């Protein structure tokens, strides 16, 4: 199996994000600047079983969400909440 191209990775990311938007009724978008790996690990552990964490670059997430909105059923409900997470902890 050869190296996967950037375009194929973006397509796979689009599909995963679109599937999550269809499967979940609520989403939370947060920035994770200066958040240590141990803190992220604790967050992921606390959310395990109930939630999915999908991380990506801002432009890729925006593009994937736009692609997803174009293909989604307009009748499907979706609630979203946007927050910013800040920490003083230095890694």
What residues pair up with 74 in beta bridges, in sequence order?
none
| Residue 85 token pair | 């997470």
pLDDT of residue 71: 66
Check residue 25 and give left, alpha or beta (phi > 0: left; psi -120 to 50: alpha). Answer: alpha
Tens-digit pLDDT profile for residues 15-65 = 888 888 778 777 777 778 888 889 888 988 888 887 888 888 878 877 877
Whether 67 shows a pLDDT value over 80: the answer reads no
Nearest to 9 by CA among 47, 45, 63: 63
pLDDT band at 72 (very low <50, low <70, confident <90, very high): low
pLDDT of 86 reads 55
Choice between 43 and 69, residue whose per-residue pLDDT is larger: 43
């Amino acid at each position: 199996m050869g190296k996967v191209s950037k375009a194929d990775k973006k397509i796979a990311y689009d599909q995963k994000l679109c599937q999550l938007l269809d499967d979940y009724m609520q989403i939370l978008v947060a920035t994770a600047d200066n958040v240590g790996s141990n803190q992220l690990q604790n967050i992921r552990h606390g959310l395990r079983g109930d939630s999915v964490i999908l991380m990506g670059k801002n432009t890729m997430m925006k593009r994937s969400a736009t692609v997803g909105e174009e293909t989604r059923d307009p009748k499907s409900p979706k609630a979203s909440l946007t927050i910013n997470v800040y920490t003083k902890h230095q890694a």
